[in-house]
Amino acid sequence: MSARPLRVVGHPVPRVDAIEKVTGRARYVTDLTLPGMAHAKVLRSPYAHARVRRVDVTRARARPGVFAALAGADLTWCDPYYGPAYRDRPVLAIGVARYEGEPVAAVAAVDEATAEEALELIDVDYEPLAPVMTLEEALAEDAPLVHAGQPPAGHFADLSTLRPRPGTNICHQFQFARGDAAAALGGADVVVEDAYRFPPVQHVALEPHAAVAAWDETGALTLWASTQNPYSVRVELAKMFDVPLARIRVVVPHLGGGFGSKTYAKLEPLAATLARAAARPVRLAASVPEAFQTVRRCASRVAVRAGFRRDGTLVAVACDADYDVGAYADIGPRVVQKGTYTATGPYRVPHVRLEARAVYTNTTPGGAFRGFGVPQLAWALESLFDVAADRLDRDPVDLRRQNFLAHGEEFAPGDTPIDGKLEESLSRAAEAIGWTRAPAADRGRGVAAMLKASVAPSVSEAIVRLHADGSVTVLASAVEMGQGTRTVLTQIAAEVLSVPLARVTVVQPDTAVTPYDQTTSSSRSTAMTGRAVQVAAEDVRDQLLAIAAQNLGVAARELALADGAVVAPARRLTYPEALALKFGMSGGELIGRGVIAPGRTAAPLGGSTPFWEMAVGAAEVSVDEETGAVRVERYVSVADVGRAINPLLLEGQDEGGVVQGLGHTLLEEMLYADGHLLNGTLLVYRVPRADDTPSELECHFVENADGSGPFGAKGAGEGSLIPVSPAVANALARLTGVRLRDLPLTPERVWRALRARSPRA
Amino acid sequence: MTIRLVVNGRPRDLEVAPHALLLDVLRDTLDLKGAKRSCDTQVCGACTVLVDGLAVSACTYLAVEADGRSVLTVEGLADGESLHPLQRAFVEAGAVQCGFCTSGMLLTAKAMLAENRTPTRDDVLHYLRGSLCRCTGYRKIVDAVLAAAETAR
C-alpha cells in the first residue's frame, strides 16, 4: 500500500487511561474485594539462614476468625516449589530458611488484624546456621551451601542448559568467547583493567506486590495479580497444582509500577495455596518492607580488561562477572547470561572472553530489574572506556565513535545485525550537552553508551475484533504498568483501521480472554505485542477490503481505509455497512489474528533479538568538596527507538529511567550487616525525590524507522537508565580526577576519594 | 466511636474504632479507593488526602482526628464530569504513568496552590519532597503543577 501520513502513530496523544487515573477510578489489585474474601499475613524468617526444625500452627488455626494456617510441611497436596529458572523456591520454607524474610508460615483470616494476631500464635523452632551474605563469603572454599541438592529446571527451554557447579553456591555459569582474547590483550598497545561493583537495589514500585486468589466450585483457579507476565504465573500454578493451563485464569488490573519486580511468580503461589486451604478467596498484599524481602536487583562485581591499539582501536575485552542472585535463583541465571552477553557494549571487539557466574547467597532473591543485568556490566565497561581514553590521550566521545558497531554490522554470529545508528545518538547527546564547549569551572561532563538485546525467542499474539458499529476491541496480554502500552496498542489499531482512538478498547490482560504474550519486560511490548496487534488489525483490514471489493465490484488494490470506511475512487462503504453486507444482518464481527513468533535461531542465546536497544547518556555534574555530595545538574539521554509511537509517553518513560538510574548511581543500596537487612523501608532507603532530579533533563530520540516493530519502532524504556551511572562517574572523574568503582557514589565515598587524592601541585 | 465529618462535600456519620486509620476508613468503609497504601510511614505520599485543606498522610492519621473536619480525596477533586485544572494539566502534560502516586500528587499540589498561587519550579520541587514517583522522573509532574497554577491565574 502506498505510504500515507500517519494519523495517530507518532503523535503525542494523552494516555488512554489518564482520566481513570486522575479521578481515582483506576482499580489496582488491592482495590478489589470479593464476597467472603479472607486476608492473608505471612510469618517470615528472622534469620538469614536457619534450619526450621518445627513449625506449629495449631494455636493459630484454632483462633476464631482464622480460615487457614499453613507451614511448609503442610503442603503435601501440591508441588510446593516454583521458579522460572530452577524450581528451587518453596511457597513456605521447608526444612530450611535461606534468607531473612523468607515466608515460613501464613494465615488467612477474616481480616488483616486477626491474621496478624494469629501469626503471633505460631511457634517456630529455628536452629540458626552460618549464612553467606556476600559474593566473597559464598565463593569461599568450604562456604556453607545455600542449597544442598540440585533443584529441577524451571519452565524456560533456553535455560535447559543451566550449568550449576555442584558442591558450591554457583547456580549457573555462562561463557562467551570469540577470537583469542588472551593473545590479543598480550599484543595490545594499551591495556586497561579494573574491577567495579554494583549494589543490590530494590525496585520500589509504589504498589507493593499483591494477589487475590479464588478457586471455584469446579476446581478452576482465578488470580487477580500485580504481575508483568500473567502467562508465566499461569505455568507455575499449573505445575504446582497439576491443573490444566486452561483452568487457570490470571487477570491483571492496573499495575502500580513494575520495573521487573513483578515478572515471574511472586506472591501468587502463596495466595493460591492459602485460598485452596481456606476454601474461600484470599487476598495477599505485601507491605513495602515485604517487597524488599521478595525481589531485588542482582548485585555484581565485575573485573574487566580491555586492550587497544595505539590508534584507539579496541581489539580485545576480557570480563569476569559474578552476580549475587540471592537465596533463590528466580530469573537470575538469565539475568547473568543476558547481561554478560553484551558486556562489550555497542563496540566492535574482535577478541572477546566473557565469563559469568550466578551465585547463591542468604539474601533476598535477585531477579529482573530494568536493564536485566546490563547496567552492572555497562557500569564497568563504560567507566573503563574513559580510563582508556585518558591513557590514550583521546577524547571519550571520539574514542567511542571510533569503535562503535555500524548499522547492519554483526554483533555475534547468528544474531540480529545492529539495527540502529549509534553515532547519531552520540552526536546528538554531545551536541545537547555542549561537549565541545568548556563547562563552567565547577562542572564536569561525561558520556556513556549502551547496547542491550531483548528476550529471544519470544512470542506475542493478539486478536483484533471489529464490531457491527465499527468499534474495535484489541485482545493482547501486554501489561499496562505505567509505561503506556495500552495507549500504544490503541494507537496502532486505530492507525491501521483508520478509526478514532476513542473507538478502540484494549482489554486488560486475562489469560482466559486475551491471547498469549510471553512477558511485559525486556522493552519488548511495543515491538512484539505492538507488531502482533498491527498484524491482527491488518488481517481485519484485508477482510474489509475483500468484502468491499466483492460488493463494490472494485479490485481490492484500489481500495483503502479512511475515517471508518472502505473508500473506493467513487464510493464509500462504512464499516457497519460492510459488516451488514457480509452477515446479512446487524450482527457478527470481523476477527483478525496476529502472531509474532520468530522462533529459535543459531544466535548464541538461542534466539535472535527482535531489536537492539541502544542509547547514549551525557551528564554534567558538580560536587561539594566539603561534603562529597554529587549533584547531576544537567542530563541528556538519546535513545535510538526507530520510531516513537507516542513521543509524549516515551519521553516520560525515559525521564523516569534516567531518574531511576540516578537512584542506584547516587543514593540506593540495600545494606546488610550481621545477616540482617538494615534499610528495607522507605524511611531509610532513599529513592530519588523531586528535588534530587537534574535541573535540566532532556530525552531525545533517534527515529530512522529501522526497527522490526510496528511502523519501524524498536523497544525502549531500559536504555535511558543504563548509561546513567557511568556517565555521572565519568563526569565526576573529569571534574575531580577521582575515579570511583563502587556504586552508589555516596557523599562519604566521594569525600573519602577526594581526601585521598594526591594534593594538586 | 462515632465521628461526624464531611467527605468530598458530603456529611458522614461514621462508627469507627479508636485506632482506625483514616486511610482504612476511606478505602474500606467509604469505598474511596483513590488514596493508596504504600510505605505506611509518611514517606511516599501515595495516601495523601486533604483535611481542612491541609495535606496529610492518611496511612498514619487516625480517623477520629478527622472528627468535625472536612476531608477531600481525589474522588472529590473533579466537579462532576468536569476535571479540576490540576487533573487536566496532569493528563495533558503526561504527568501520569502507573497512576499509583497520582492521587497523592494531585492533592499535595492542590494544598500547595492554596498556600502559594504563584509557585516557582523550585517551590514545587520542594513541596513534592513528600510525594514519591518511581515512573516519571517528576519533570512532567512539576510541569503539570506549574501549568495548572498558570491556568488558575
pLDDT of B54 reads 98
Same domain as A617, residue A665: yes
**Which CATH number characterizes residue B27's domain?**
3.10.20.30
pLDDT tens digits for A638-648? Answer: 999 999 999 99
Does the pLDDT value for residue A456 go beyond 60? Answer: yes
Same domain as A469, residue A442: no
- DSSP annotation of A527: I
State whether B102 and A15 contact (CB < 8 Å).
Answer: no
Provide the shortest C-alpha distance from residue B68 to chain A (in Å): 25
Provide the shortest C-alpha distance from residue A646 to chain B (in Å): 11
Same domain as B13, residue B45: yes
Q: What CA–CA distance (Å, rounded) separates A413 from A131?
A: 42
CB atoms within 10 A of CB A686: 17
Same domain as B45, residue B18: yes
Same domain as A582, residue A475: yes
In chain B, residues 31-90 whose CB comes closer than 8 Å to chain A: 32-41, 43-44, 46, 73-75, 77-78, 83, 87, 90
Q: Is residue A153 part of a domain?
A: no
Band of residue A155 on the pLDDT scale cut at 50, 70, 90: low
Last residue of a domain, one of A596, A619, A651: A596
**Which CATH number characterizes residue A168's domain?**
3.30.365.10
Same domain as B13, residue B52: yes
Same domain as B93, residue B45: no
State whether A28 and B40 contact (CB < 8 Å).
Answer: no
* Contact yes or no for B98/A482 (Cβ under 8 A): yes
Q: Is residue A409 part of a domain?
A: no
Q: Is residue A412 part of a domain?
A: no
State whether A22 and B90 contact (CB < 8 Å).
Answer: yes
Does the pLDDT value for residue A151 go beyond 80? Answer: no
State whether B133 and A206 contact (CB < 8 Å).
Answer: yes
Band of residue A761 on the pLDDT scale cut at 50, 70, 90: very low
pLDDT tens digits for A554-600? Answer: 999 999 999 999 999 889 999 999 999 999 998 899 999 999 999 99
Per the listing, cell 556513556 goes with A448
Percent of chain A with pLDDT over 90: 96
* Contact yes or no for A417/A410 (Cβ under 8 A): yes
Q: Largest Cα–Cα distance of chain B, in whole Å?
A: 44
In chain A, residues 626-665 whose CB comes closer than 8 Å to chain B: 648-649, 651-653, 655-660
SS3 content of chain B, % helix, strand, coil (to 5): 40, 20, 40
Q: Which domain holds residue B27?
A: 2-76
Same domain as B124, residue B97: yes
Same domain as B89, residue B24: no
Same domain as A567, residue A532: yes
Same domain as B58, residue B10: yes
Q: Are strands B10-15 and B2-7 parallel, antiparallel or unpaired?
A: antiparallel
* CB contact set of A6 (below 8 Å; sequence gap of 6+): A495, A711
Task: Cell numbers for A457, please give them.
Answer: 525467542
In a 10 Å sphere around its CB, with 0-12 CB exposed, 13-18 middle and 19+ buried, how is residue A186 labelled? exposed
Same domain as A272, residue A374: no
Tell me whether B135 touches chain A (CB under 8 Å): yes
Per the listing, cell 462532576 goes with B80
Q: Which domain holds residue A440?
A: 417-454+608-761
Same domain as A450, residue A337: no
Band of residue A448 on the pLDDT scale cut at 50, 70, 90: very high
Last residue of a domain, one of A547, A576, A596: A596
Q: Is residue A250 part of a domain?
A: yes
- In the structure, how many helices (H) and strands (E) does chain A have? 18, 32
pLDDT of A759 reads 65
Same domain as A312, residue A256: no
Q: What CA–CA distance (Å, rounded) separates A281 from A53?
A: 30
State whether A658 and B137 contact (CB < 8 Å).
Answer: yes
Same domain as A700, residue A677: yes
In chain A, residues 198-237 whose CB comes closer than 8 Å to chain B: 203-208
* Contact yes or no for A336/A377 (Cβ under 8 A): no
Last residue of a domain, one of B76, B97, B124: B76
Same domain as B8, residue B68: yes
Same domain as B89, residue B72: no
Last residue of a domain, one of B21, B53, B76: B76
> Of A460-469, A599-608, A694-703, which gets the smallest average pLDDT?
A599-608
State whether B97 and A206 contact (CB < 8 Å).
Answer: no
Last residue of a domain, one of A257, A272, A292: A292
Nearest CA in chain A to B39: A288
Task: Cell numbers for A339, please give them.
Answer: 547481561
Give the residue from B97, B124, B127 with the most A CB atoms within 10 Å of its CB, the best one to mutate.
B97
pLDDT tens digits for A275-289? Answer: 999 999 999 999 999
Domain count, chain B: 2
User: A456 — phi, psi (to 5°)?
Assistant: -155, 145
Collapsing DSSP to helix, strand or coil, A531 comes out as: helix
Same domain as B64, residue B8: yes
Does the pLDDT value for residue B108 go beyond 50? Answer: yes
Tell me whether A26 touches chain B (CB under 8 Å): yes
Q: Is residue A688 part of a domain?
A: yes
pLDDT of A1 reads 43
Residue A100: enclosing H or E segment and its boundaries? none
Same domain as A509, residue A448: no
User: Cα-Cα-Cα-Cα dihedral of B14, B17, B23, B25, to 10°?
Assistant: -30
Same domain as A668, residue A703: yes
Q: Is residue A532 part of a domain?
A: yes
ipTM for the predicted complex: 0.99
pLDDT of B152 reads 85
Q: Is residue A140 part of a domain?
A: no
Same domain as A445, residue A477: no
Q: Which residues of A touch B100 (CB under 8 A)?
A: 28, 205-207, 256-257
Q: Is residue A144 part of a domain?
A: no
Domain count, chain A: 4
Tell me whether A269 touches chain B (CB under 8 Å): no
CA distances (Å), origin A192, targets A351, A383, A392, A729, B40: 15, 11, 10, 17, 48
CB atoms within 10 A of CB A641: 35
- In the structure, how many helices (H) and strands (E) does chain B have? 5, 5
Same domain as B55, residue B104: no
Task: Cell numbers for A324, please give them.
Answer: 549475587
Per the listing, cell 479521578 goes with A23
Same domain as A581, residue A505: yes
Give A637-652 as a 3 state SS string. Answer: EEEECCCCCCHHHHHH
Last residue of a domain, one of B76, B93, B123: B76
